[in-house]
Structure 1
């Protein structure tokens, strides 16, 4: 009896902490900025010399999703006599935006996609001209880490919502009476309620009561 109850308690606590530990770590603005800077350097390096195609894809893999790599290679990687290369251009499709990191950037998320973007005012002078627009880099979670999945240009501000900490679907506090309880700790999507009386009012207490009653009736 005691062994069974102990096992059930241990299983529930394990599941609760397991969910908390596996809560998906959110991408921060600082991390996204650093990723875009490094991805920009990588794309520039692809224009320096000819390489085998598999080497180009391997160089891109730490920064970009599989889908992005395939699109980028299709649009930009050209075959030569000695391998493959990206020819430098101001209009290379899927290239990282020329963010002004000394100015404010905007960061948010929508439907599990994180967006780092900046407003570009119209430019009417010089060799390159354009209207007011936004440029954004989109990040998604792939194979356990965030990677760049797309680059977009838009006349309107990209729609975002502030990233929120994901809560664990399991809450250990549910197995305790919350009267006279004090809440503390809400780390990694795991919340815990300390109750000085630890009054069990869930399946465990109900199960223990039923087993005891059944044993008494049998006697």
Structure 2
């Protein structure tokens, strides 16, 4: 019994209280890791149906309430009393398919982080599109960073100039 309690205590001490909360994103690699985790959280919602509360728990460490509502309205569907997302090659409010390389630009300011990438036009495959920029804005909220805006060809010119 004591051994079991000791093991449980050790496990609890090793697990951070907020494993996904990011209060410091000080460089490009930190931002990339955060966005990759956020994207994994989004795509995990297609694995199984969940309650509304479960979905909020998955998204809350990464996304503002405003962003969660936009994502919910566009991508989450009710199925047998629970909710799920369906896969798509072109779904709004998912983290864009960034390359997470030198092609993906990060502009860090004290209260916002802009992440953007230029996507050249393509006519190959099931989805075609014209030249465009995609991006997200992370905003500092309650001491941590959260994705707060989705940008599709509406990135401020001043941010594009700083990035490139």
TM-score with structure 1 setting the length: 0.57
Secondary structure of 1:114 counterpart: strand
Superposition map of 1:125-140 within 5 A: 125-140=124-139
Distance in 2 (CA, whole Å) between partners of 1:155 and 1:143 is: 26
Q: Is the 8 A contact 1:132 1:155 kept in 2?
A: no
Stretches of structure 2 that go unaligned for 5 or more consecutive residues are 1-22
Deviation string, structure 1 residues 126-149 (Cα, Å, up to 9, x no partner): 221111111111100111101111
CA RMSD of aligned residues (A): 2.4
1:26 is displaced (CA, Å) by 6.2
Q: Is the 8 A contact 1:27 1:114 kept in 2?
A: no
Q: Is the 8 A contact 1:133 1:156 kept in 2?
A: no
Q: Is the 8 A contact 2:49 2:83 kept in 1?
A: yes
Matched residue, 1:104: 103
Q: 1:32 and 1:25, CA in 2 relative to 1: closer, same or farther beyond 3 A?
A: closer
Matched residue, 2:119: 120
Matched residue, 2:34: 35
Matched residue, 2:14: none
Q: Is the 8 A contact 1:134 1:158 kept in 2?
A: no
The number of residue pairs the alignment matches comes to 139
Distance in 1 (CA, whole Å) between partners of 2:124 and 2:88 is: 19
The runs of 4+ residues in structure 1 deviating greater than 6 Å are: none
Secondary structure of 1:58 counterpart: helix
TM-score with structure 2 setting the length: 0.75
Distance in 2 (CA, whole Å) between partners of 1:157 and 1:133 is: 13
Q: Is the 8 A contact 1:79 1:85 kept in 2?
A: yes
Q: Is the 8 A contact 1:78 1:84 kept in 2?
A: yes
